[in-house]
Structure 1
Amino acid sequence: MNGIMEAAIQSLLRSSENLKAALEVEVTQLQERGDLSSSSTDDRSRRILAVVSHRRDYVGDEEGSVLIFKRTPGRSIEDLSVEVAYPISGSFSFSVAQARRKTLDLRASGGETAATLGQSRSELTLTIKYELATEIRSHTLIARDTRKLQSFTAECRRLKDMFTRHEFDADFSWLSLYTQESSLKSFSSPIDLRMVNLPLHTRLSPASAGLPGDDADDISIVRENWIYNKAIEEAFTGSSARLLIRTGTFNVNGKMPSQDLSPWLRPTKRNSEISGWISPLKAIPPLDILPNPVDEQMTTSLGASSATLAHASLNNDAKVSDPDLLVLGFQELDLSTEALLYATSTVKEDAWVEAILAGLGERGILYEKLASKQLVGMLIVAIAKKSRLSCFSDIRFSTAGAGIMGIMGNKGATAIRMSYTPLGQEISPSPTVLTFVNAHLAAFDEMVERRNFDFHDLSRRLVFDQTDEPDSNSYANTASETSRRPVGLFESDVLFWMVYLNYRIDLADGDVRELLTSFPGPGNVPLLLKYDQLKMAIASGKAFAEFSEHAITHMPSYRYASNTSEDSLGYDRKRKPAWTDRILHMSARSVPVTQRSYCSHPQITLSDHRPVSADFDLNVSIVDKQKREIAASKLYRELWGVEHSSKTPKIKLQPVKLDFGKIYYRRLIRQTLSIQNNGQIPCVYRFVTANAEQPICPQWLKIDPVVGLLRPGESSTITVTVFVDNSSASRLNLLPPRLDFTLILHTALGKDHFISVTGEYQYTCFANKLARLTRLPCPVRSMKSPNDQVPAQQLVNAPREIMRLINWLMTYVTDPSDLFNGLIEESICINIRECLDTGDQFPSPQSGEEHGPLTTAIVSTLVQLLDSLVDPVVPSYLHARCLQMTSRDEAFELLDEFPPESVNVWISLTAFLHYMSLQKLPSQSSTNQAEMAEKLATIFASVLLRDDLTGLYTPVSPIGKQKFLLHFVG
């Protein structure tokens, strides 16, 4: 069957469906006098009828249906969509009649009279009826091509006679492809970020060898995920657009703007006076804008060490271009009692918006308010470049109270959702959905669980529905849509929270201040963050799971003294400092987000908080919206029905055995598997467990991907990676060296395939107990069995490996700066670890040779070895006792309660640290023993007195740990 129309219809069908007849018709309208005539003959009134048959491959019965297609106005004939589909069953009927001619009205105008006289005598009416349980649906259509109409009616009669005569069990399930609107076709809203970022295999049914689980449901889940990503890939134009976003959060403590906000609003540069910005505000007294000296010292002292190690892509000194969009969250905008009743006054909002535009300086003229939303004291404002305003559309708002009685607006959140579509494209790009949340959670240290609850409650209640209208003063009013469905907070491509979260630090007030002020001062920030409530909530999954927060290198933003007594850093003596003001984000993998800065701005002192900002660089892929929807629709039809097919999926897997050879501690090894679908239907595969109690693979093994989909003839590569970390090494050290494991690859609705994994584990001294190391008869690599041990009376006083490292350091290190200032070279560390495990000699520095990198590798390996021990050098049950020691003599007496192997390690290591503290730095004229001892104690205390992660023993103060160590080092 040839012709453009027939080809267009066939392209929309699957291979199991055949087009039998096609007919172009027009929708009719019933006139007042009962005359029937065609409506206007534009695309909006035209329809195409198609008789389509389907054969079930496992039965052979033929089922038929009538599909009614409509054309998109202004598009070609190939652009068709199914309006309705009717099964040709006992409920289906049709009739054909001569179209009634219009009555000639001599009073009508000449044009109408001519149209009536010119009505074609070959014009026929086709009426289609389908009887449902509660109603009869009918369509009356005008057909002019009598030949195609005859073919259409003949096929309808044939298929209905077949249905009536054979009386087979027809379910017409294949019609769901054409009658149900798939979410994949419209892409009306992004998939929930929590679902997108969740590993796909965790969403599948429980399965193991011989017990495949719900294969049909698994196929549906994998298929939907695969089509979603594949359609985007096929519609990607190969180009992208860059969107720069600056976000900020500021608790203004009820104050009106009285300072220049430029440090908070402008691209992050430490030397703002050379940034090229011109402040439009009056001069401000120098005392008001002097940066906190400790904050400045912290920035320079951390520099490329702590900050870079924490997150390599974060650079607070990077030259950031002008942002395209600024989204700022304010809290405690209004502290008046009246405001608790959801006051609607915009006086304070207007003042802050004006201050924002003023703070942008000479660039202010380039920006305009895009949208804003206020809930009592919470205000979120979006400011965009005028040149980008038309890029933002479908702007929606949401608010939710979480304060008094859980509903009042003194706590809660405001949120803005918007679609970003790059301009200047020849196609219609798919929009990128951005959502911004400004929240204020419960206060006080002990309210951490309430804060966790508020996060989940607000995440559920912040919904953007069709009743939300853009702010009357915002640009969004010109781009509002008339029909919009409610969407959740996480139905976004990128989600930002710029918030006053109120999470505190789980340490005593004195410890927090001492860590912030003591040497090396701000270098203690990473240590403090171990006790940060938000970090712990994220790690435990209790709140903000899967959100990203970049490295914090700035001093706590709360709480600075405001007309109250302050400490040496300017903090309120009655309020413990904390990082209460945070900016976090979550993004889909399809929208890469790079964070360029994250810092506080101590120059702005009008509140008891310091504002915090973060710059983000979004790389938005240009995806053809129409092409994506067409691709998704075709892929959906192509892959639909696999779970109902009589055919069995078949794959070819090579190799079926992976031999990793020698497997070492902390050395990564990769091998690949090739999987090919050599069957006739799409295949969904997944790795499953041997039984319900076992994991898919051992901890030292990783598989990527764990689940996948292949069309007939397609192939893919699976990567299998071996990496032994501390947790897996602690188990492998106690097992026979031969590693054997079988991976099970299950094909949905098919059979299981088995891949043998083998390797020879190389024993290591890392991740052992101290007591076991003291009973090794030889270097650990020479052991034939993990049970090789000397009798108790022959054990050594301390592990040889630890003593070798300490002795090397005592022999070769005279400059304490060599311990910390060199770069850690992994290749040297691997060599050192191998020498410890085999008993070989360490490399010795040649005379006159720079041995900083070697020294750094030795001391790094020592710290790594101590940190890898199954139990810390100082047992957890003694940590509280250690903090009770008030003198050197008491501390030494406590050593009697240490395990024997711990005592000898402790004495040897502290003797070395004490020796190092007495050495003079080349840059100093005299020894500062106390300063060096404190620095060494800061590094080693948390390793020697490692916190108990099981929760059996309460973690103790890091300051207390350092003081205990200083009894021996200082």
Structure 2
Amino acid sequence: MQTTLQPIEDEVLVPLQPDEETEDGRVRNREAIAKIRDIWIYSKVRARQEEFTQYRKALVFTGTWNVNAKGKEEPLDEWLCADWATQGLPDLVAVGFQEIVDLNAVNVAVDNKTQQRSQVWTERLNATLNQHANQPERRYVLVAQKSMVGLLICVFVRFPHYPKVQYVQTSQVGVGVMGMMGNKGGVSVRLQFYDSSLCFVCSHLAAHRENVTGRNADFANVFSKTVFDVGEAAIREVIRSGSLSHFASQSTTVGLADHDHTFWLGDLNYRIDESMPTEQILKLSETCQSSRHVPPELRQLDQLNMERSAGRVFAGFQEGVLHFAPTYKYQPGTDMYEQRPEKKLRAPAWCDRILWMSQQAEHVQQLTYSRSERPNCSDHKPVYSSLQLTVKDVIQEKREAIYAELNALLSRYENPQTLPVIELDQVALDFGPIRYQERKTLSIRITNIGSVVAIFRFVPKTDEVGICKRWLSVKPAFGMLVPGDPPLTVNFTITIDSYTAQLLNSGREVLDDIVILRLEDGRDYYITIKASFARSCFGMAADELVMYSDPIRSIPIDPLERAKKIDPTNTSTALCIPKELWRCIDAIYQKGLAEPHLFVESGIPEETAAIRECLDTGTAFGRYSIHSYADTLVSFLSSLSSPVVPTKLFPTVEIDSQTIQSSARRLIEDLPPIHYNIFVYVISFFRHVLAFRDRNLLTAAKVARVCVNSLAPGRDLDNTAASLQKRTGMQLIVLHLLETSSI
């Protein structure tokens, strides 16, 4: 079984009410006790849901179309009813539109036409679906619709199932102009169908072929910010059906991942990777349009496929194989890709997509995934997919019987006059040495050795908010043990990320902590955590790295001991650039710069860890993939405690052809000395990489993104228009430096 729900053990219990201390010194929190008890019951009910759940099949039709603000009254049958003859009548129909109005400044700011156009499209959908409305089993009822500046989603249900639809809610998230105006973003509808929760999202993500990062960020924003306040009754019902772990927060809101099934459709705007020339993409797209065969190399270079494979976007979602030709960009009113001489030549792309996410993968079967040739008034072709769902239908009497059984069990072991007693197999965990980007887990086992229920939770230390330091995680953070239960395992995991490495390298943090386990109506237990950081060049300052000719692992973290390694009177010992940077780049040179998809294809995690160890210890490199060296180089530059290009040096005015030369010169002149050396060295290296672009399939724009992400990450920039302008200006400056010989 695959699940996308956040497990209960990932949650930290934060009761709103303060703890109470009894006369005999025991501590309890009634709110925490009630919540943990409810969660225990929920987990037991969920484990037994097969005993009270019967399942039924439901056919769902989903469709998406960017209409490009066209209002032509073409019939929608060929798209909306494309597979009804073969698959049967859908039980639910969810259709999303993008650009139902022009995304001009007035419409984005005022949104004065969206409601009018939404009504027109909703009526057209209703008329198309209800051509046989005189037959009740073929009648469709609008459940909900939601619109936002050019976006519209409509959900219909077939009339016989209408009584089984409840808890309907809508949501919207704007991620366009200034992050909120809505020219890009998502609109959503969620509902309960029988006893399964379903959610449908229609989105329009950031445009432009090179803006993969922007699309990924838009997805993350829509995914994280889409919430529905469904009310306490709905939350309780979904929990009791075994679908949701919401007792810990006592919130009445749910997110996308809290549903049994989530469908994401829209103009996601992912293109074919720039490593394939536009003309070649056009030729292959025309071939697969006529032959109905998609060349594997075209599918492999689809940006969404690449980003999903790398785990950067749509984690947990599934998509059918692309067996249809790219759906964008067409000459409106024709079946020809746009190639008119007065128009900009764009590479065809699968912009229009349908994906889904399910708690149980086997409960969704995609029957069709294709595009429709009509309507053709837009520069996008409509896309559709039919999916067969397995939905829950709870037998209420059986469910209530299980609840009664579980409550009776707890009643036998709940006695306020008897103290709970637990036993921990250890209270001191020594993780030993731990390295950068390493995750290490140790565990303790808790046993209930008493005669009553034992409820525990980890609590913060006095005047602190978290139960542990940020580099440590504790799972589960609370629990309940009934007498006779097997011991419960609690995992403690240390993770060293870039921020933690920066703190450790500078001596501002140590890997020591004390975690407090509180037994409700009992005592506190103190668990000590200890580890030693294997010092790393990752997460250090470039200005410090150049001071050491010895491997960084041999340099003490203690500042007094470290000072003995440096002769302040001998400035000649300082390096021009960190030796670790030189070693990485030299290794890539040795491997050869003509490797296809260099700095695009991911390295092997085990190899990148080994390369990091070689850099930290000064040992010779092994036989590793060039992609692993490339990954390590980018990771090293990105991890520096002070970015090579500080955010304060980002351009503050719009960059154009008249100002780019002077802006680039000013940026370089203002860099601190060591940062200047690194910047010039890295830009010169990437210029040499681009000399092999015919073989490594890189482009200047793609290399510029790699450089900006590693040299000028802009960590303290937000999503405002001013910050976006700074990022864009930085990108243009780096692109200019890569394509010219001046620096």
The alignment's TM-score, normalised by the length of structure 1, stands at 0.52
Please tell me whether residue 966 in structure 1 is matched to residue 739 in structure 2.
yes
1:831 CA drift (Å): 1.2
Contact 2:420 2:450 in 1 (8 A): yes
Unaligned runs of 5+ in 2: 103-111, 173-184, 206-216, 235-251, 282-297
1:799 CA drift (Å): 0.7
Contact 2:40 2:480 in 1 (8 A): yes
Partner of 2:260: 494
Partner of 2:525: 753
Please tell me whether residue 830 in structure 1 is matched to residue 609 in structure 2.
yes
| 1:769 maps to which of 516, 523, 541 | 541
Please tell me whether residue 800 in structure 1 is matched to residue 570 in structure 2.
no
Partner of 1:432: 196
Partner of 2:632: 861
Contact 1:780 1:837 in 2 (8 A): yes
The alpha-carbon distance between structure 1 residues 905 and 239, as it changes in their structure 2 partners (threshold 3 A), is: farther
Where in structure 2 are the equivalents of 1:657-668 lying within 5 Å?
Answer: 657-668=428-439
Contact 1:933 1:966 in 2 (8 A): yes
Please tell me whether residue 909 in structure 1 is matched to residue 682 in structure 2.
yes
Contact 2:369 2:386 in 1 (8 A): no
Unaligned runs of 5+ in 1: 1-192, 267-276, 281-319, 358-364, 403-410, 421-430, 442-447, 466-486, 506-512, 540-545, 846-852
For residues 378-435 of structure 1, the C-alpha deviation after alignment (integer angstroms, 9 at most, x for no partner) is 6735477xxxx98885134868899xxxxxxxx9989574534xxxxxxxxxx32435
Contact 2:432 2:532 in 1 (8 A): yes
Moved more, 253-262 or 749-758: 253-262
Partner of 1:258: 75
Q: Distance in 2 between matches of 1:802 and 1:947?
A: 21
Contact 1:373 1:381 in 2 (8 A): yes
Partner of 2:708: 941
Structure index of larger Rg:
1
Contact 1:866 1:944 in 2 (8 A): yes
The alpha-carbon distance between structure 1 residues 626 and 345, as it changes in their structure 2 partners (threshold 3 A), is: same
1:438 CA drift (Å): 7.4
Where in structure 2 are the equivalents of 1:299-310 lying within 5 Å?
Answer: none
Please tell me whether residue 678 in structure 1 is matched to residue 449 in structure 2.
yes
Contact 1:400 1:461 in 2 (8 A): no
Specify the SS of the correspondent of 1:756.
strand
Partner of 1:395: 165
Please tell me whether residue 638 in structure 1 is matched to residue 409 in structure 2.
yes
Contact 1:249 1:498 in 2 (8 A): no
1:527 CA drift (Å): 14
1:838 CA drift (Å): 0.2
Where in structure 2 are the equivalents of 1:230-245 lying within 5 Å?
Answer: 230-237=44-51, 245=60
Q: Distance in 2 between matches of 1:548 and 1:586?
A: 6
Contact 1:438 1:498 in 2 (8 A): yes
Moved more, 551-560 or 666-675: 551-560
Where in structure 2 are the equivalents of 1:545-560 lying within 5 Å?
Answer: none
Specify the SS of the correspondent of 1:201.
coil
Moved more, 644-653 or 952-961: 952-961
Specify the SS of the correspondent of 2:488.
strand
Contact 1:349 1:379 in 2 (8 A): no
The alpha-carbon distance between structure 1 residues 778 and 881, as it changes in their structure 2 partners (threshold 3 A), is: farther
Where in structure 2 are the equivalents of 1:297-696 lying within 5 Å?
Answer: 326-329=93-96, 348-353=124-129, 368=138, 371-373=141-143, 380-382=154-156, 394-396=164-166, 417-420=191-194, 431-434=195-198, 436=200, 459-460=228-229, 493-494=259-260, 496=262, 601=371, 603-604=373-374, 605-607=376-378, 611=382, 625-639=396-410, 645-693=416-464, 695-696=466-467
1:759 CA drift (Å): 1.6
The alpha-carbon distance between structure 1 residues 969 and 638, as it changes in their structure 2 partners (threshold 3 A), is: farther
| 2:36 maps to which of 195, 198, 222 | 222
Q: Distance in 1 between matches of 2:15 and 2:394?
A: 29
Moved more, 898-907 or 320-329: 320-329
> Which amino acid letter does the alignment assign opposite residue 512 of structure 2?
D
Specify the SS of the correspondent of 1:754.
strand
Contact 1:891 1:967 in 2 (8 A): no
| 2:12 maps to which of 195, 201, 204 | 201
1:239 CA drift (Å): 9.8
For residues 150-169 of structure 1, the C-alpha deviation after alignment (integer angstroms, 9 at most, x for no partner) is xxxxxxxxxxxxxxxxxxxx
Partner of 2:555: 783
1:232 CA drift (Å): 2.6
Specify the SS of the correspondent of 1:327.
strand
The alpha-carbon distance between structure 1 residues 581 and 887, as it changes in their structure 2 partners (threshold 3 A), is: closer
Please tell me whether residue 742 in structure 1 is matched to residue 556 in structure 2.
no
Q: Distance in 2 between matches of 1:247 and 1:840?
A: 56
The alpha-carbon distance between structure 1 residues 255 and 725, as it changes in their structure 2 partners (threshold 3 A), is: same
> Which amino acid letter does the alignment assign opposite residue 808 of structure 1?
A
Q: Distance in 1 between matches of 2:437 and 2:368?
A: 32
Pick 1 or 2: higher relative contact order, CA cutoff 8 A, min separation 6.
Answer: 2
Q: Distance in 2 between matches of 1:738 and 1:943?
A: 27
Count of matched residue pairs: 629
Partner of 2:497: 725
Q: Distance in 2 between matches of 1:671 and 1:437?
A: 40
Q: Distance in 1 between matches of 2:321 and 2:45?
A: 41
Please tell me whether residue 898 in structure 1 is matched to residue 671 in structure 2.
yes
1:772 CA drift (Å): 2.1
1:728 CA drift (Å): 1.5
> Which amino acid letter does the alignment assign opposite residue 193 of structure 2?
S
Partner of 2:645: 874
Q: Distance in 2 between matches of 1:690 and 1:825?
A: 40
The alpha-carbon distance between structure 1 residues 805 and 240, as it changes in their structure 2 partners (threshold 3 A), is: farther
1:558 CA drift (Å): 10
1:812 CA drift (Å): 3.6
Q: Distance in 2 between matches of 1:551 and 1:571?
A: 36
> Which amino acid letter does the alignment assign opposite residue 868 of structure 1?
S
Q: Percent identity?
A: 23
1:730 CA drift (Å): 1.4
Partner of 1:127: none
Specify the SS of the correspondent of 1:674.
strand
Q: Distance in 2 between matches of 1:940 and 1:527?
A: 23
Specify the SS of the correspondent of 2:33.
helix
